[in-house]
Structure 1
């Protein structure tokens, strides 16, 4: 009997040891305490936005030709009305000189014709007085009057010739404008296509020809960002926005919506979007930004302070969360009623209480209701 008791005891110890060695081990999980904080309903752009200049123009000459004058280089600051580029136009200058000479010649003909007309009119008056006294015949008086009218008509014709010559000269000036580029505003030359002596080609509609000069005014900047077409109806002008740029990591810039595009952009193999334009609320605080920087915007639709909130990533399908029971070391499933939400936090109206801890590491294997878990203090410390 004693041997049997010893054998039973040994088997019991072995069984307990085997059970202890093969028992399910608690899964380490990352927990987040339910607490009060601020929750905002926000919308974010679907693709990266871009920093744009309020004024930007891509200049090309109306006609093609060889570049004869290039007065700027990339990066230069220019003033409104400054000559930037001019093509060879000796033929147009020659036509302009010819038109100017014609104006001078026509003006001299006006002097000649109008002086003759004035003298003829005086003679007609004199002949009329002589006829009244009976010294000349009626036919001679009429001939003098007719000659005066003809010469006055010639004077008027000469004046019309001057106007015609001046119009022709203005036309040559217009033609010269086709070969020159002037700055339409104060700005910076971003890019120049072409060198002195090269042939410059204009950019007709529908033909992807690069412009001769790309001019930007970087004193005024804004962000243009594409938003999902589903979110567009919720966005209004003057709504507050948070702007982040890859070039300024960790910096959040306040802004406001200034425009919502009145149409949907449909780009092949991309989601349909609506472009919005956002102004920097404090442009002096942004520092030096470059046109073309990538930017992200977060439109703030609404916000609430001091409400219970949980990480949005901790909410499963159907509005369920896993709450850690410290007494049993197991997870309990709760269904919550959510309020405002964004990608980071969700407001909880009911379902959990302040101080309770919920699981955020849902991607781990074995995480489900009833599972035995243990807080992963190391990971939790890093998360804080």
Structure 2
């Protein structure tokens, strides 16, 4: 009996040690590495071209205005941030001399017109006298000499009338010249827009820019009703771009939002900037202007869509290794190598023509060198995201 109890105690002790040993092995054994997986699904793949440097929001019309003539500012109607309509005066230069000249020429015109009326009345009267004298001469009541003198007087009076008519035209032209001079002293808005900047104050002098010597404009006027994006594209991508292509616009000022657009213009030359890649400026219009107020000068990025394919099998581009293969989660949660035949691709997704099926799960990250084909892995809790939008 004591022997039996001893054997039971020994068996129980061995069992407890075995259980503890298994539990220790189970909880201390190496776990399969956690990896990030993506589920293959159908979606859209696009071939795109993006700008090499930040683009800029620009206005379709922007005028840096200055008076045609230099002078002292006496009236400044424009204020920064104010909206103006086409033809609205913005500033006026000192022009009292031209105003006086216009008044003088107006009075000269009035005098010339009065003298013209007088001379033409006398000319008409002289012509009627000449006609009567000629009739009387034909009947013998007046000598031929008197008739000739009357005709000469009529021609002289008519010449005076014509000369004064020319003088009236000269006075009218002088008024137009003076008016043009006055117009050069007032700066008007060529189109409706918002005043971005005003350079100068009442009493200061302003001058137009001499050829080849840029000077600050008196008024910077922006038509913000029409905006577009100008972005530099690498010269290598220029042959793939065409006016009318679809594009996406993103703005740093409006993160998380994307706006559709179309390529409106491609510059016919390459821009060469020292120590930078050669680029081609591409202009893109918004299809629908954003509801938010956009400021001219905002930085923007453009993604021109060269080609688009919908409802195709696609794989995240980052899952493809340099040799064109992917690691797929296979039987027993072990990774398997698959060779792919691919089609259209961009930085986000690549079209799969052969090698994968919908529902396959592929490895996304290759940071851990121990993760390779044949290794058993386990998916991260929140990493198994489908590739479809």
TM over 0.5, yes or no?
A: yes
Q: Distance in 2 between matches of 1:193 and 1:383?
A: 57
Give 1:250-329 correspondences, 5 Å limit: 250-283=256-289, 285-325=290-330, 327=332, 329=334
Question: Match of 2:11?
Answer: none
- Alignment counterpart, residue 185 of structure 2, candidates 179, 182, 193: 179
Structure 2: distance between partners of 1:129 and 1:257: 85
Q: Which moved more, 1:40-49 or 1:191-200?
A: 40-49
- 1:237 equivalent among 240, 243, 251: 243
| Contact kept? 1:254, 1:281, Cα under 8 Å | yes
Counterpart-to-counterpart distance in 1, 2:158 and 2:232: 71
> For residues 144 and 316 of structure 1, what CA distance do their matches in structure 2 show?
114
Post-superposition offset of 1:92: 1.6
In the alignment, what sits opposite 2:346?
342
> CA RMSD for the aligned pairs?
2.7
Aligned mate of 1:97, from 103, 114, 130:
103
Shift of 1:27: 5.8
Q: For structure 2, list consecutive stretches of 5 or more residues without a partner in the other structure.
A: 1-28
User: Within 5 A, what are the aligned runs for 1:21-100?
Assistant: 28-100=34-106
Displacement of 1:352? 3.3
Q: 1:377 aligns with which of 375, 380, 384?
A: 380
Change (3 A) 1:333 1:205: farther
Distance 1:246 1:74 in 2: 25
Query: In the TM superposition, what whole-angstrom CA distance separates every residue of 1:203-256 from its partner, at most 9, and x where no partner exists?
Result: 234322121111112222222222222222322333222221112111122222
Distance 1:231 1:161, change over 3 A: same
After superposition, the Cα gap between the structure-2 partners of 1:193 and 1:371, relative to the gap in structure 1 and judged at 3 Å, is: farther
| Secondary structure, aligned partner of 2:254 | coil
State the alpha-carbon separation in 2 of the partners of residues 205 and 341 from structure 1.
51
CA positional deviation for 1:332:
4.9
CA deviation profile, 1:118-158 (whole Å, cap 9, x unmatched): 22212211221221122222122112111211110111010
After superposition, the Cα gap between the structure-2 partners of 1:162 and 1:287, relative to the gap in structure 1 and judged at 3 Å, is: same
Alpha-carbon distance in 2 for matches of 1:27, 1:100? 97
2:369 corresponds, among 361, 366, 370, to 366
CA contact (8 A) 2:134 2:147 kept: yes
Following the alignment from structure 1 to structure 2, what is the Cα–Cα distance between the partners of residues 84 and 339? 59
Matched, 1:108 2:114: yes
Equivalent pair of 2:37/2:385 in contact (CA under 8 Å): no
Deviation at 1:26, TM superposition (A): 6.6
Shift of 1:160: 0.4
Instruction: Give the match's secondary structure for 2:56.
Output: strand
Is the 1:260–1:277 Cα contact (8 Å) retained in structure 2? yes
Q: Give the TM-score, by structure 2 length.
A: 0.83
- Hey, what does 1:4 align to over in structure 2? none
Aligned residues: 359
**Could you tell me which of 132, 135, 147 is aligned with 2:141?**
135
Q: In 2 relative to 1, CA 268–102 (structure 1 residues): closer, same or farther, beyond 3 Å?
A: farther
Q: Which residue of 2 aligns with 1:155?
A: 161
CA distance in 2, matches of 1:286, 1:266: 36
Q: Is the CA contact 1:28–1:373 (under 8 Å) kept in the aligned structure 2?
A: no
CA distance in 2, matches of 1:268, 1:294: 21
CA contact (8 A) 1:228 1:273 kept: yes
* Residue-by-residue CA offset, 1:61-93 (whole Å, 9 max, x unaligned): 112211111012111111111111111112222
Give the secondary-structure state (helix, strand or coil) at the position aligned to 2:74: strand
